[in-house]
């Protein structure tokens, strides 16, 4: 299936019109699209569900949409699950749950495709746990010359190392194989907390159980803390009553929050009072449910996001300074700041590569200028070697990113080998990776 179309991402800040769009149904059709583009000197971007805020998936010429390439290939007895690249995470979670398996860790939402999420280093929280790419065991990539390359720790290991977080710059992913684990439940404990206390005991709090995070409401000292503890399914589930889930997660977290954001847009001066109101809305609650239902939430209010990964010990000082900036009224931020952690991993372009990591994510409503708020985070994170999420807004280029990733050149060497003509590129990749071969 081919055609010409326009495209926009989830947040609406990346758009393009009049690009050629291909919907391949198998590896041969992906290969044909790549070879055709290469012969015509055109550039290709594969796309998932368009949830990246950066222009990483914005096509210059040809867009390859994997929505017809989204089936389960198989699950073996050890929990190795293989899926086609366009499968959304929520469907993968359902397929796994139906067979008694779970992914080890997930981010906040499950609307991304598995390949899109892997390609930008999507992560959740957990001091002992890595992002989604640490669960990856094998990939099949369609290369720009149309050949199919399988890679894993045993087969083409140097390609596998780079392609675990490949930015869609090494090939179009045909299938991915992830290691699932026996299904488990999470006991969720959520409740209000004070920023000062969380920062004073930051390491202790963030490592106090399996998956810990908090949201801080700028202009206040108030936070919403979330602690999720892994428990066996055999202990039984005590999910939130349906009315409470709808009221708190749909009405308060989405509908009321949308109203607060809209009011802040009309009257920016009211944002600090609105933030205090928003932070007071969510009280303590505890429940136990299947892991994928606890990890993810619905995000209906559209926003723009910047997220920096910093050495874990540096996070409290950055948050303290952001608190000062918000208090001084230098910027009015209606959205909470999200704070998470991850274990060090060994993936060249992972934001947690080689170091214990804390993530600090700032948000502003869609169609708002993030101006000084994002600039302050970017500057402070930069002072401590911060690495931006590949799918979230940042202003860095290849020269700076090379200094933040000790294995940057290892990645670009694999890219130059697999895609010497730069078929899998766009203006954004030129900026963050440099032209092919540099
Ligand atoms: C509401 C919201 C919540 C989010 N929460 C989190 C979170 O909790 N944690 C986190 O880390 N991130 C989070 N993100 C960011 C998001 O996970 C990433 O941007 C992710 O890449 C989006 O997946 P996607 O399928 O939409 O990919 P897209 O944005 O469509 O594409 C991302 C990249 O993947 C490439 N790609 C897609 N398919 C293929 C393929 N078959 N082969 C090769 N390359 C491919 C694209 O070319 C592009 O470079 C969130 C984003 C939003 C909007």
Q: Do 275 and 168 share a structural domain?
A: no
Q: Do 203 and 152 share a structural domain?
A: no
**Residue 201: helix, strand or coil by DSSP?**
coil
- 188: domain range? 184-388
Question: How does DSSP classify residue 248?
Answer: I
Task: Assess whether the C-beta atom of 66 lies below 6 angstroms from ligand 1.
Answer: yes
Which ligand 1 atom minimizes the distance to the CA of 429?
49
Q: CA-CA distance, 4 to 174, in Å (whole number)?
A: 23
For residue 357, the cross-strand partners are 311, 342
Q: Are 162 and 410 in contact (CB under 8 A)?
A: yes
Which ligand 1 atom minimizes the distance to the CA of 299?
1
Which ligand 1 atom minimizes the distance to the CA of 131?
11
- The predicted pLDDT at position 272 comes to 66
Question: How are beta strands 136-142 and 72-75 bridged, if at all?
Answer: unpaired
14-25 per-position pLDDT tens digit: 999 999 999 999
Q: Do 356 and 225 share a structural domain?
A: yes
Q: Do 259 and 218 share a structural domain?
A: yes
Q: Atom 27 of ligand 1 has which residue's CA nearest to it?
A: 116
Q: Do 146 and 57 share a structural domain?
A: yes
Q: What is the CA(391)–ligand 1 centre distance, in A? A: 6
Q: CA-CA distance, 96 to 103, in Å (whole number)?
A: 8
Q: Do 59 and 1 share a structural domain?
A: yes
Q: Do 197 and 132 share a structural domain?
A: no
Q: Do 233 and 89 share a structural domain?
A: no
pTM here is 0.95
Q: Do 132 and 38 share a structural domain?
A: yes
**Residue 302: helix, strand or coil by DSSP?**
coil
Q: Which of 9, 64, 116, 159 most suits a substitution to test ligand 1, by most atoms within 8 Å of the C-beta?
A: 116
Q: CA-CA distance, 316 to 262, in Å (whole number)?
A: 30
Question: Of 355, 370, 388, at which residue does a domain stop?
Answer: 388
Q: Atom 7 of ligand 1 has which residue's CA nearest to it?
A: 107
Q: Which residues neighbour 324 within 8 Å (Cβ) at sequence distance 6 or greater?
A: none
Q: Are 350 and 342 in contact (CB under 8 A)?
A: no
Q: Atom 34 of ligand 1 has which residue's CA nearest to it?
A: 116
| Phi (first) and psi of residue 126, to 5 degrees | 145, 115
338-359 per-position pLDDT tens digit: 999 999 999 999 999 999 999 9
pLDDT bracket for residue 240 (50, 70, 90): confident
21-49 per-position pLDDT tens digit: 999 999 999 999 999 999 999 999 999 99
Task: Assess whether the C-beta atom of 130 lies below 6 angstroms from ligand 1.
Answer: no
Kindly state the average pLDDT of the residues 215-220: 92
**What CATH number does the domain containing 333 carry?**
3.40.462.10
Which ligand 1 atom minimizes the distance to the CA of 53?
19
Which ligand 1 atom minimizes the distance to the CA of 66?
41
**What CATH number does the domain containing 424 carry?**
3.30.465.10
Q: Do 400 and 380 share a structural domain?
A: no
Helix then strand count (H, E) for the chain reads 15, 19
Range from 214-223, 307-316, 400-409 carrying the lowest mean pLDDT: 214-223
- The predicted pLDDT at position 332 comes to 75
Residue 141, burial from CB neighbour count under 10 angstroms (0-12, 13-18, 19+) = buried
- Does the pLDDT value for residue 255 go beyond 60? no
Q: Are 164 and 133 in contact (CB under 8 A)?
A: yes
Task: Assess whether the C-beta atom of 10 lies below 6 angstroms from ligand 1.
Answer: yes
* Measured CA angle at 362 (ends 357, 365), to 5 deg: 155
pLDDT bracket for residue 261 (50, 70, 90): low
Helical ranges in 384-433 per DSSP H: 398-404, 408-418, 427-433
Split into its structural domains, the chain has a count of 2
Question: Of 352, 371, 388, at which residue does a domain stop?
Answer: 388
Range from 35-39, 112-116, 244-248, 344-348 carrying the lowest mean pLDDT: 244-248
Q: Do 245 and 314 share a structural domain?
A: yes
pLDDT bracket for residue 259 (50, 70, 90): low
Q: Are 301 and 354 in contact (CB under 8 A)?
A: no
Q: What is the CA(197)–ligand 1 centre distance, in A? A: 33
Which ligand 1 atom minimizes the distance to the CA of 57?
48
Task: Assess whether the C-beta atom of 60 lies below 6 angstroms from ligand 1.
Answer: no
Q: Do 129 and 172 share a structural domain?
A: yes
């Amino acid at each position: 299936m081919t055609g010409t179309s326009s495209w926009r991402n989830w947040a609406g800040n990346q758009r393009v019109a009049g690009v050629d769009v291909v919907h391949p149904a198998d590896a041969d059709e992906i290969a044909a699209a790549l070879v055709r583009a290469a012969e015509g000197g055109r550039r290709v971007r594969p796309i998932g569900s368009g949830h990246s805020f950066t222009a990483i998936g914005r096509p210059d010429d040809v867009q390859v949409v994997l929505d017809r390439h989204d089936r389960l290939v198989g699950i073996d007895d050890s929990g190795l699950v293989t899926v086609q690249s366009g499968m959304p995470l929520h469907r993968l979670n359902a397929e796994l749950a139906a067979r008694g398996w779970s992914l080890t860790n997930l981010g906040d939402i499950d609307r991304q495709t598995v390949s899109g999420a892997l390609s930008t280093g999507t992560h959740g929280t957990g001091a002992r746990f890595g992002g989604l790419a640490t669960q990856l065991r094998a990939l099949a990539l369609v290369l720009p010359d149309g050949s199919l390359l399988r890679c894993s720790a045993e087969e083409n290991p140097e390609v596998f190392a780079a392609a675990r977080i490949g930015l869609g710059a090494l090939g179009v992913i045909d299938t991915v194989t992830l290691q699932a684990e026996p299904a488990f439940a999470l006991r969720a404990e959520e409740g209000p907390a004070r920023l000062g206390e969380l920062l004073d005991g930051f390491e202790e709090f963030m490592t106090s159980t399996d998956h810990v995070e908090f949201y801080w409401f700028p202009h206040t000292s108030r936070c919403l803390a979330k602690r999720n503890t892994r428990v066996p399914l055999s202990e039984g589930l005590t999910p939130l009553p349906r009315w409470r889930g709808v009221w708190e997660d749909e009405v308060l977290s989405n509908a009321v929050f949308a109203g607060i954001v809209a009011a802040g847009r009309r009257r920016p001066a009211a944002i600090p009072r609105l933030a205090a109101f928003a932070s007071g809305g969510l009280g303590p609650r505890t429940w136990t449910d299947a892991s994928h239902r606890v990890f993810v939430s619905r995000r209906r209010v559209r926003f723009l996001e910047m997220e920096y990964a910093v050495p874990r010990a540096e996070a409290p000082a950055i948050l303290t300074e952001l608190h000062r900036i918000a208090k001084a009224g230098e910027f009015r931020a209606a959205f909470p700041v999200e704070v998470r952690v991850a274990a060090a991993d060994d993936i060249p372009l992972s934001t947690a590569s080689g170091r214990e990591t804390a993530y600090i994510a700032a948000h502003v409503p869609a169609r708002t200028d993030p101006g000084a708020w994002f600039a302050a985070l970017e500057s402070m994170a930069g002072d401590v070697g911060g690495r931006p999420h590949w799918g979230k807004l940042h202003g860095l280029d290849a020269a700076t990113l090379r200094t933040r990733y000790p294995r940057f050149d290892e990645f670009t060497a694999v890219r130059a080998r697999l895609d010497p003509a730069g078929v899998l590129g766009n203006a954004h990749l030129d900026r963050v990776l440099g032209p092919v071969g540099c």
